[in-house]
Amino acid sequence: MGTAVDRHIALIGFMGAGKTTVGEEVARRTGRPFVDTDAEIEARHGPITELFDRGEAEFRRLEREIVDEALSAGVPSVIALGGGAFEAARSDRALAVLIDVDVDTAWERSRRTSRPLAHEEAAFRALFAARDYRSVADVVAEDADGVLLAGLGIRIGPGKADGDVLLIDARLRELRTFGLDQTITVQEKTLAEAWRVWSELRLGRDGTIVAYGGGTTTDLAGFVAATYMRGVRWNALPTTLVGQVDAAIGGKTAIDLPQGKNLVGAFHYPDRVGIDPRELETLPDEERRNGMAEVVKTGLLAGRPLWELAEDEMIRACAAFKAEVCLEDPYERKGRREILNLGHTFGHALEAASNYEVPHGEAVALGLKAALKLSAIEIDHPLDPQPVRLDRELAWAVLQRDKKVRRGRIRLVLLEALGKPVVREVESDEARAALDELIID
Ligand SMILES: NC(=O)c1ccc[n+]([C@@H]2O[C@H](COP(=O)([O-])OP(=O)(O)OC[C@H]3O[C@@H](n4cnc5c(N)ncnc54)[C@H](O)[C@@H]3O)[C@@H](O)[C@H]2O)c1
Ligand SMILES: [Zn+2]
């Protein structure tokens, strides 16, 4: 199982399942190369029907060559494996994702094509029944979002904690019953808390920590998992909207220091993230609003009003978008992750200048307002955040310090259009004017 963070995503499934269409979309969205083994065979050796006429054995030999080559490539790719080549996806080098289809749909889609194994319906159905894709698949997906989620081990829907030690948020401990071999209650992501957890853990090198709570819990648990015995596995069960659309996704783990937030940490991806939107039923409104700010950020980046979707779909789409960005840039080395800072430069300035009295979500909602303004995009802000009362000069000082203003210019993530993030330098008086609009005296 595991994730596709450092591995290929191999799409398997019967003829007509849509491996090529889904694969192209996943490759485009993650910036990964796409290899369609059937297309590659045709490009090198000519039409598959003609190759088949020379005998299936020869076709399979050529196919194996191309599949081996694709799986050996050093760059993590998206590979659509020809319908008969699925056994190759047992490789450690790939996460095998089954694009499922029922036999009637597959036949309808394939019958009018020139596919050599789709000439005769009875034979087609017999072949369908004979191929056991599920025995090879690590996970099943129905669309591109499903593949992206699978790529980071994310599952949406009810699921149980799977692991050895449960780290549970103190508030949830009162609200839920839950048990693994050992349960440790946590409430803050500090060194003292990490220290306590390290000392209390009864866990071997091959053990798994499960984090059950919001971003505070998953950040701490992930950090403990990254450091304990030089790294043990962990799974996340996020219970806040922030956790489900943001914090539990993307491998960033951290603790806060008195000097600032998230100053010590590591990239350490959870093997699995179980997102159950029903967990949010007990979430206080102000915490939901914090999460909605990240949802709006994601919608602006994706270019779709995700905040208008029903909650389950909204969470799924936001989690898939974050997965897309992180699959492209898992360790923040390529730049793509930078877009996730949309609204956050101004947001951080407001948070810090208010001594963290302004909640993160409120600050980000305001930061997004500034980003929209500087991007000259006119849409009604879905959260309609109101200006906050704090020291303008202090906020401006934090903003300048944060972004190392150079030659009177400041680097920001903005939008060229909805769904088209760009990193741009803005004149500092323009930035100052946008900041001033977020503040009342
Ligand atoms: N690693 C990342 O990529 C990333 C991204 C965003 C935020 N974060 C971090 O996440 C943290 C914030 O996380 P958060 O917003 O999830 O807050 P949180 O984890 O602090 O939880 C907020 C409050 O909600 C309570 N709670 C949690 N789940 C609940 C539920 N289902 N019902 C009732 N109460 C519940 C908690 O006890 C807490 O009081 C910050 O430290 C931030 O730095 C990390
Ligand atoms: Zn945020």
Q: What is the pLDDT of residues 269-288, one digit of tens each?
A: 999 999 999 999 999 999 99
CA of 234 to the centre of ligand 2 (A): 22
H, E, C per residue of 49-73: HHHHHCCHHHHHHHHHHHHHHHHHC
pLDDT for res 407: 74
CB-ligand 1 contact for 294 (6 Å cutoff): no
Kindly state if the Cβ of 36 falls inside 6 Å of ligand 1: no
Non-local (6+) Cβ contacts of 390 within 8 A are 350, 353, 354, 357, 358, 439
- Residue 329 Cβ inside 6 Å of ligand 1? The answer reads no
Ligand 1 atom closest to Cα of residue 256: 41
Question: What pLDDT was estimated at residue 74?
Answer: 94
For the segment 383-400, what is each residue's pLDDT rounded down to a tens digit?
Answer: 999 999 999 999 999 998
Q: Which ligand is nearest to the CA of 291?
A: 1
Tell me what percent of the residues of the chain surpass a pLDDT of 70: 98
CB atoms within 10 A of CB 289: 16
Per-residue pLDDT tens over the stretch 168-193:
999 998 777 666 789 999 999 999 99
Residue 409: pLDDT band with limits 50, 70, 90: confident
Out of 188, 212, 219, 249, give the residue to mutate to test ligand 1, the one with the largest number of ligand atoms within 8 Å of its CB: 219
pLDDT tens-digit readout, 16-35: 999 999 999 999 999 999 99
- Residue closest via CA to ligand 1's atom 44 equals 247
> How would residue 2 be classed by pLDDT, with cut points 50, 70 and 90?
confident
Ligand 1 lined by 246 (C-beta under 6 Å): yes
CA distance 422 to 179: 46
Q: Is the CB of 341 under 6 A from ligand 1?
A: no
Site to substitute for ligand 1 among 239, 240, 262, 275, most atoms within 8 A of C-beta: 240
| Single pTM value for the model | 0.96
The residue whose CA is least distant from atom 2 of ligand 1 is 247
pLDDT digits (tens, 9 = 90+) for 25-61: 999 999 999 999 999 999 999 999 899 889 989 999 9
How many angstroms does the Cα of residue 213 sit away from the middle of ligand 1?
Answer: 7
**Contacts of residue 411, Cβ cutoff 8 Å, sequence gap at least 6:** 403, 423, 424, 425, 426
Q: Which of 167, 187, 239 to mutate to test the pocket of ligand 1 (most atoms within 8 A of CB)?
A: 239
The DSSP secondary-structure symbol of 386 reads P
Distance 233 CA to ligand 1 centre (A): 21
In the numeric block, the tokens 């946008």 are attached to 434
To which residue do tokens 């699921």 refer?
159
pLDDT of 404 > 70? The answer is: no
What is the C-alpha separation between 32 and 94, in angstroms, rounded?
14
> Which one-letter amino acid corresponds to residue 50?
E
pLDDT tops 90 at residue 195: yes
Does residue 169's CB lie within 6 angstroms of at least one atom of ligand 1? yes
Q: From the CA of 209, how far away is ligand 2's center (Å)?
A: 25
pLDDT: which is higher, 332 or 409? 332
Parallel, antiparallel, or unpaired for β 182-186 and 208-213?
Answer: unpaired
Which residues in 301-408 belong to E strands, given as ranges? Answer: 388-389
pLDDT in tens, 87-135: 999 999 999 999 999 999 999 999 988 888 888 999 999 999 999 999 9
- What pLDDT score was predicted for residue 405? 67
Ligand 1, residue 253: give the atom nearest the CA: 1
Task: Name the closest ligand to CA 340.
Answer: 2
CA of 254 to the centre of ligand 2 (A): 14
243 lines ligand 1 (CB under 6 A): yes
Is-contact 326 288, C-beta < 8 A? no
Q: Is 288 in the pocket of ligand 1 (CB under 6 A)?
A: no
Mean pLDDT throughout 255-262? 94
C-alpha–C-alpha distance, residues 422 and 333, integer Å: 17
Ligand 1 neighbour 421 (Cβ under 6 A): no
The confidence score (pLDDT) of residue 180 equals 79
CB distance 282 to ligand 1 below 6 Å: yes
**CA quadruple 390, 394, 400, 402: dihedral sign:** negative
How far is the C-alpha of 364 from the C-alpha of 207, rounded, in Å? 37
Q: Of 163, 160, 253, 153, nearest to 207 (Cα)?
A: 163
Residues 10, 12, 18: CA angle, nearest 5 degrees: 110
What is the Å distance from ligand 1's center to 83 Cα?
A: 43
Average model confidence (pLDDT) for the chain?
A: 95
Residue with tokens 């904690």: 161
Q: How confident is the model at residue 403 (pLDDT cuts 50, 70, 90)?
A: low
DSSP string, 239-279: -SHHIIIIITSSSEEEEEETTEEEEEEEE---SEEEE-GGG
pLDDT of 408: 76
Average of pLDDT values for 408-421? 95
Matching residue, tokens 């669309």:
143
Structure confidence at residue 113 (pLDDT): 86
* Rounded alpha-carbon distances, angstroms, from residue 187 to 194, 203, 211, 212: 11, 21, 12, 11
Looking at all shown ligands, the one closest to residue 360's CA atom is 2
Q: Is the pLDDT score of 370 beyond 70? A: yes
